[in-house]
Amino acid sequence: MPELPEVQTVIDGLNQKIINQTISKIKVLRKGITNCSLLPIVGEKFLKLDRRGKYIIFHLSSELVMIGHLKMTGKFIVTSKYAKYHRHDRVIFFLGDQSKLIFNDIRCFGRLELIDSAELLEKFKNMGPEPWDSKYNPLYLKKKLENRRIPIKTLLLDQNLVAGIGNIYASEILFEAGIHPEKPGYLIMASEFKQIIKSTRKILKQALKYNGTTISDFRRVDEKTGEFQNFLKVYGRQGLACRICGEKIQKLRQNQRSTFLCPSCQN
């Protein structure tokens, strides 16, 4: 599933292609992707895009905002209006400059939602801070984690703790921080809160630099892939040598998700 770096990469791509474009027509090819009719935004312009966690926020020229979530296999593609339809195209926005913005999704878990801009705060009120927000600090983590018996890896995936981290980056962040993914929240030491925050920012920043990680379906708006998969240190590397100490990388299951770690670098 796309995480913060992949979602931001999509936004950066869209920013170059759809800003100030007017939506001249919308075709919804699959019901259930949207929460309501998208007709009210025909004639509107895309003014600005924002990200909150793994959500893409499309600000329009009216009071409405469209919120997109890619979930497992959602993609946004911008192409010529004459380009052929693809089997998994779900929603098509025809734009004033003769291009079209396509929401393509093989598995159809992705969502496009229209809400009033006044409801934005309410929509994200339970979401944790962004990784670069000053609210994501050691004291905050201490408060959130000190009574939790849940493993730190699982806690990092909770969007209400910190926004934007998913399965790939949680493993990479904990490797970078030298913390075992099964360590329960209440056993994390004061110095480690700092380390987790530092590692979160470092790993996500690197991933952003390489336009995210392409493991299976993630594509940029121009359909190129991200490149951070070439820099992963533990994710998907079970059985291979740790790049730091040479020990074999292990894979384990936590909460039905795969976790990757170096048993000697992380404790």
Contact 207, 8 (CB under 8 A): no
C-alpha 61: how far from chain center: 25
Q: Does 49 bind Zn ion (CB under 5 A)?
A: no
Q: Which of 168, 179, 242, 261 binds Zn ion (CB under 5 A)?
A: 242
Q: Which of 16, 107, 244, 267 binds Zn ion (CB under 5 A)?
A: 244
Which residue, 83 or 244, has its beta carbon nearer to Zn ion?
244
Answer yes or no: 3 catalytic: yes
CB of 160 to Zn ion, least distance (A): 31
Among residues 49, 62, 63, 64, the alpha carbon closest in space to that of 9 is found at: 49
Tokens standing for residue 65: 């905002």
Q: Which of 63, 245, 248, 267 binds Zn ion (CB under 5 A)?
A: 245
Which residue, 122 or 247, has its beta carbon nearer to Zn ion?
247
Among residues 266, 69, 67, 60, the alpha carbon closest in space to that of 180 is found at: 266
**Apex CA 258: angle with CA 191 and CA 233, to 5°?**
60
Which residue, 120 or 252, has its beta carbon nearer to Zn ion?
252
**Bridge partner residues of 258 (DSSP):** 253
Q: Does 241 bind Zn ion (CB under 5 A)?
A: no
Instruction: Output phi, psi for 170, to 5 deg.
Output: -65, -45
Give the total of residues touching Zn ion (CB under 5 A): 7
Please give the residue ranges that form the binding site for Zn ion (CB under 5 A).
242, 244-245, 247, 262, 264-265
Q: Which residues are catalytic?
A: 2-3, 54, 257
